Chain A
Amino acid sequence: MSRKGKLTLERKLSLTGWAFLLPATLLILIFSFYPMVQAILLSLKAGRGAQAHYALTNFTRLLQDQTFRQCLFNTIFYFIVQVPIMLILALVLAVLLNNPRLKGKAIFRTMIFLPCATSLVSYSMIFQSLFSTNGFINVLLTGLGLEPVRWLEQAWPARIVIVIALIWRWTGYNMVFYLAGLQNIESSVYEAATIDGASPVQQFFKITVPLLKPTILLTAIMSTAGTLQLFDESMNLTSGGPGKATMTIAHYIFETSFVMTPNFNYSAAMSVFILVSVAILSAIQMKIGDKRD
């Protein structure tokens, strides 16, 4: 009798748990997984109305679309150049800030994190103004006796402005994660290493980097997903220009879905491309991150 009572109590508690997690679970199923399946189905459909059928035409069209290739190139460029620079910078700043002998820690941390409080649209506007042809950066360059650059009117300078802007916006954000991770490393580990005669650089590569691996992995995956979906900067800082020289894939998806004559099937194919890319890159990063030395 008492045994049966215990079982029902356990069941009751388990059901309470299910009830607690049900709303969040349903919302994720309805607004993340279901639309993901829809996107895949949409991308596989060709033709309109009664002629609609399943085919791979949207994906073959992707391969031939010059604009898509340009956007893919731009997105890969931002990813390859910006993510490593930003993560290394964030890690170095976090290690410097973690030094127990450093004074004014809180002020430095606050200032370096502050860019994260600005919205993506806002900071795009600030950088657009800073780098405009008659803007502050060119005034500065002229003052230093250098040639002004038409930053936003040429393909490569415009791409570089986007990279600079991204590094400015996100370095402090990643630094906070590293700072948090560093707090879990006992300071006695470093003391022992110092006694053994390890230089600060050796300590960085032999202690800090290996112990921070899970955090580095987390930030690498977040930055990968973030860069592959870059939208606001392309839309507001450069408007994708000059021409389509700085446009990202997410910006192009937005254009094909909501600005030009809507072609949902084709834009769904592009979004499935991003979905698969993020999955593959995250899997690779996890594989590398998992390796034990």
Chain B
Amino acid sequence: MTRRARSMAPAYIILVIASFLSVFPLYYMAVGATNTSMDVTSGRLIPGTHLVENFKSLISNQNLGVAMWNSLRNSTVITLLTLLICSIAGYGFEIYHDRRKDKLMSILLLAMMIPFVALMVPLFRMFSGWNMINSWIALVLPAISTPFMIMLFRQSARSFPHDIIEAARLEGLSEIRIFFQMFIPVMKSTYGAAMTVTFMNAWNNYMWPRIVLQSNDSITMPMLVANLKSGYVVDYGMLMLGVLICTLPTAIIFLCLQKSFANGITGAVK
């Protein structure tokens, strides 16, 4: 073994252990989804044959289709609106910046410090006053404008060449069309990162949906998973299958978009 290779050995050992510990609980979950409740708790680590039974008890126990549809619809609507509203705001703050806009931006950034728990009671009273409890609008409205996302797009607009804007103006393009036809296509990787983060947060959110969605028809996937635990006897095989189904969409999105996610975050940290 060369000296150089030996000096790298501790790094590999630490990274292998860290990777193993990161993936193991997920492996345990995936295997658990194919085993009986007994096998899951006794620590069986090889795939079993109970997947179909677990799926049958899951759909007889909970309304999986409704939860899946609600989660998909809510998360998609939140993601699309967040990208649109925050990116156009970030663009506006940067491209047309002046002293007053910069000042407003620094005030908006303070909202990053407000913990959501501090807002949940007033928000709940606000939406119940508007008779919007159980409506997905109550879920969407507080989620679609975040200072973090505005900052991310403002940062990326900083690297957007002004020559493009000037040239487009000379050709008579309106300001809004410059944004849609020039800015959005160039900033694909920022949109990819923003999409990954927003979709994951929207999909995984539990507290606010739990407060504002109180009817069985508006249940989301994380709420469904939490419901699987209530009851006297927990069927761990079924629970792990529920967890697996709830995790798949975000895991797939992350694995597909991780390259642009990393690039987008790099842009934000700069």
Contact surface of A with B, Cβ cutoff 8 Å: 13-14, 16-21, 23-25, 27-28, 31-36, 38-39, 42, 89, 92-93, 96-97, 99, 101-102, 107-123, 125-130, 132, 134-136, 139-140, 168, 171-172, 176-177, 179-181, 183-184, 214-215, 218, 221, 225, 228-229, 231-232, 235-236, 249-250, 253-254, 257-258, 264, 267-268, 271-272, 274-275, 278-279, 282
Q: Which of B120, B123, B203, B239 contacts A125, CB < 8 Å? A: B239
Are A229 and B115 CB-contacts (below 8 A) given A21-B92, A119-B246, A123-B25?
A: yes
List 3 tightest A-B contacts by C-beta distance, closest first: A17-B96, A20-B92, A24-B89
* A203-B176 Cα distance, complex, nearest whole Å: 48
* A195-B228 Cα distance, complex, nearest whole Å: 60
Q: Are B206 and A27 in touch, CB under 8 angstroms?
A: no
Q: Is B164 interfacial (CB-CB < 8 Å)?
A: no
Q: Which residues of B contact A181 (CB under 8 A)?
A: 269
A103 to chain B minimum Cβ distance, whole angstroms, is: 9
Q: Is B191 interfacial (CB-CB < 8 Å)?
A: no
Are A122 and B119 CB-contacts (below 8 A) given A18-B92, A25-B89?
A: no
Are A119 and B247 CB-contacts (below 8 A) given A136-B28, A139-B43, A282-B113?
A: yes
Q: Which residues of A contact B22 (CB under 8 A)?
A: 111-115, 168, 171-172
Are A32 and B117 CB-contacts (below 8 A) given A18-B92, A125-B229?
A: no
Q: Is B226 interfacial (CB-CB < 8 Å)?
A: yes
Are A31 and B41 CB-contacts (below 8 A) given A102-B11, A129-B236, A232-B207?
A: no
Q: Is B192 interfacial (CB-CB < 8 Å)?
A: no
How many A-B residue pairs lie within 8 Å, measured between CB atoms?
Answer: 286
Q: Are A229 and B116 in touch, CB under 8 angstroms?
A: yes
Q: Which residues of B contact A214 (CB under 8 A)?
A: 269
CB nearest neighbor in B for A248: B117
Q: Which residues of B contact A111 (CB under 8 A)?
A: 19, 22-23
B171 to chain A minimum Cβ distance, whole angstroms, is: 16
Q: Are A271 and B113 in touch, CB under 8 angstroms?
A: no
Given contacts A32-B114, A112-B19, A119-B225, 8 further A-B contacts (CB under 8 A): A31-B145, A96-B11, A119-B246, A136-B28, A218-B269, A250-B207, A257-B121, A271-B117
0/1 interface trace, chain B 231-270, chain A, CB 8 Å (1 if under): 0000010011011001100110111001001100110111
A84 to chain B minimum Cβ distance, whole angstroms, is: 17
* A21-B90 Cα distance, complex, nearest whole Å: 7
18 contacts between A and B (CB under 8 A): A14-B96, A24-B89, A31-B123, A33-B114, A39-B118, A102-B11, A108-B18, A112-B19, A114-B22, A115-B25, A117-B247, A117-B251, A121-B223, A171-B18, A172-B22, A249-B117, A271-B118, A274-B117
Q: Is B167 interfacial (CB-CB < 8 Å)?
A: no
* A125-B204 Cα distance, complex, nearest whole Å: 14
Q: Which of B11, B19, B179 contacts A20, CB < 8 Å? A: B179
Q: Which residues of B contact A140 (CB under 8 A)?
A: 43
Q: Are B96 and A16 in touch, CB under 8 angstroms?
A: yes
* A171-B226 Cα distance, complex, nearest whole Å: 24
Are A28 and B41 CB-contacts (below 8 A) given A20-B89, A168-B22, A179-B262?
A: no
Q: Which residues of A contact B225 (CB under 8 A)?
A: 119, 121-122, 125
Q: Are A279 and B25 in touch, CB under 8 angstroms?
A: no
